[in-house]
């Protein structure tokens, strides 16, 4: 029998010793693999239909302010001040945006996690699912918008990470979120899902002792407050600008009227059929689709079983978080006046699926419970006394 112990120890010795060093390594690996997989877009970007308008110069103030993207207008003015050609922006810079976004994706799973919950395997696999899924790739076909959209998403993810790790820098995270929202509002879905994932991770880490471990949940409350505050500030700034300048908002910038809620519910249900039939955008590839949904379902099922093995009062919180994940995945597009669920705006759905794959990876590494052997007895849920002696949950 081959002894892999020394080899395993030697490979582990190549990893950075610090937790932050390992996280940075994960970010670099994900960014490198993503750029390599999307190399045609990076080296030879093309023009989408909307990109040809950039041949005539940058978009106008009215055009961007009416869509709530006043931050994007400021970015364009800054680039123009440095004599950057609009056509170059619509093509070459999207590779930079892709790399920045890919670097930030592991932070989605690591913001509220401890060292054991952000191992390279589970975190890296889930992050690659976010960056390489066909839904996420569609934004690259809109080269005139991909850079600012990807940059804003990365800024939003980094802001939540900052609040989770260094709450005293909440003001910096707030500024980053307001700036990011002024370029791309769908990052709200990412931020909300990160917080819900953090609730589950915190419960698994503390054992659900809310009364004794309430301090562990404090970063989540900070993140919620900063996100809500940034969203309120963005909406106030946007409304003030369009009112002062007399600019008419486009339909996508408005909110859904209350009398249209029933119709929107039907539209959301119909979206479920699209997600099932066009999981990878194409209609073929049944094996790949089956593998994808199998891993996603297995991950969430394992998590649910983990929470039900020894239910506590504190387990109500992560169960509620699980229930809210689909709502957060749809997020912003569900409350918009115009229903436009194009694949490129379904990043929240991709992240929710990637969270299931994250749980699969974590389970494979024996991290869903402190004693992995307890999962071999999940079918004996009725034998609680036996499980109490085996599992430290």
4 belongs to a structural domain? no
Quote the DSSP letter at residue 1.
Answer: -
275 belongs to a structural domain? yes
8 belongs to a structural domain? no
* Cα-Cα end-to-end distance for the chain: 34
88 belongs to a structural domain? yes
Alpha-carbon dihedral angle through residues 140, 141, 147, 149, given to the nearest 10 degrees: -80
307 belongs to a structural domain? yes
Tokens matching residue 386 = 């036996």
Please classify residue 256 by burial: count the beta carbons closer than 10 Å to its beta carbon, then call 0-12 exposed, 13-18 middle and 19+ buried.
Answer: middle
Binned average pLDDT, 10 residues per bin, the chain of 393 residues: 49 62 91 91 67 67 83 85 72 82 95 83 92 86 79 96 94 96 93 96 76 78 96 93 84 75 86 85 82 93 86 80 94 82 87 94 68 45 44 38
Quote the DSSP letter at residue 103.
Answer: H
Other Cβ atoms closer than 10 A to 323: 10
Q: Which pLDDT does position 15 carry in this prediction?
A: 58
Q: Which pLDDT does position 385 carry in this prediction?
A: 44
113 belongs to a structural domain? yes
The string of DSSP letters for 154-182 reads HHHHHHHHHHHH-GGGHHHHHHHHHHHHT
Q: What is the tally of structural domains in the chain?
A: 1
Q: Which pLDDT does position 19 carry in this prediction?
A: 76
Residue entry with tokens 């194009």: 342
1 belongs to a structural domain? no
Q: Which pLDDT does position 331 carry in this prediction?
A: 87
Q: Which pLDDT does position 87 carry in this prediction?
A: 66
Domain that holds residue 330: 17-390
190 belongs to a structural domain? yes
Q: Which pLDDT does position 197 carry in this prediction?
A: 96
Contacts made by residues 389-393, CB under 8 angstroms, sequence distance 24+: 391/309, 391/310, 393/207, 393/306, 393/309, 393/310, 393/369
């Amino acid at each position: 029998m081959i002894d892999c112990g020394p080899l395993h120890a030697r490979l582990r010795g190549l990893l950075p010793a610090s937790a932050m060093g390992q996280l940075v390594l994960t970010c670099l690996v994900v960014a490198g693999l993503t750029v390599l997989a999307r190399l045609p877009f990076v080296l030879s970007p093309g023009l989408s239909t909307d990109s040809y308008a950039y041949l005539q110069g940058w978009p106008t103030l009215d055009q961007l302010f009416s869509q709530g993207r006043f931050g994007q207008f400021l970015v364009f003015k800054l680039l123009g001040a440095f004599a950057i050609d609009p056509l170059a922006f619509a093509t070459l810079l999207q590779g930079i945006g892709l790399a920045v976004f890919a670097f930030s994706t592991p932070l989605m799973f690591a913001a509220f996690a401890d060292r054991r919950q952000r191992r390279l395997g589970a975190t890296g696999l889930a992050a690659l699912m976010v960056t390489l899924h066909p839904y996420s790739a569609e934004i690259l076909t809109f080269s005139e918008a991909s850079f600012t959209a990807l940059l804003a998403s990365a800024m939003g993810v980094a802001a939540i990470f900052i609040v989770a790790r260094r709450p005293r820098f909440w003001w910096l995270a707030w500024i980053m979120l307001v700036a990011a929202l002024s370029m791309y509002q769908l990052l709200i879905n990412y931020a909300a899902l990160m917080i819900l994932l953090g609730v589950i991770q915190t419960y698994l880490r503390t054992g659900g002792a809310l009364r004794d471990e309430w301090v562990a949940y404090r970063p989540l409350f900070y993140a919620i407050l900063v996100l809500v505050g940034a969203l309120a500030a963005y909406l106030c700034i946007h409304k003030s600008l369009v009112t002062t300048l007399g600019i008419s908002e486009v339909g996508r910038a408005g909110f859904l009227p209350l009398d249209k809620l029933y119709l929107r519910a039907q539209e959301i249900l119909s979206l479920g059929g699209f997600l099932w039939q066009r999981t990878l955008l194409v209609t073929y590839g049944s094996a790949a689709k089956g593998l994808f949904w199998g891993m996603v379902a297995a991950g969430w099922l394992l998590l649910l079983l983990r929470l039900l093995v020894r239910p506590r009062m504190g387990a109500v919180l992560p169960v509620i978080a699980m229930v809210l994940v689909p709502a957060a995945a749809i997020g912003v597009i569900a409350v918009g006046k115009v229903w436009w669920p194009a694949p490129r705006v379904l990043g929240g759905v991709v992240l929710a699926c990637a969270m299931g794959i994250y749980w699969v990876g974590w389970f494979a590494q024996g991290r869903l419970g402190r004693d992995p052997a307890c999962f071999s007895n999940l079918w004996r849920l009725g034998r609680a006394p036996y499980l109490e002696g085996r599992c430290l949950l």
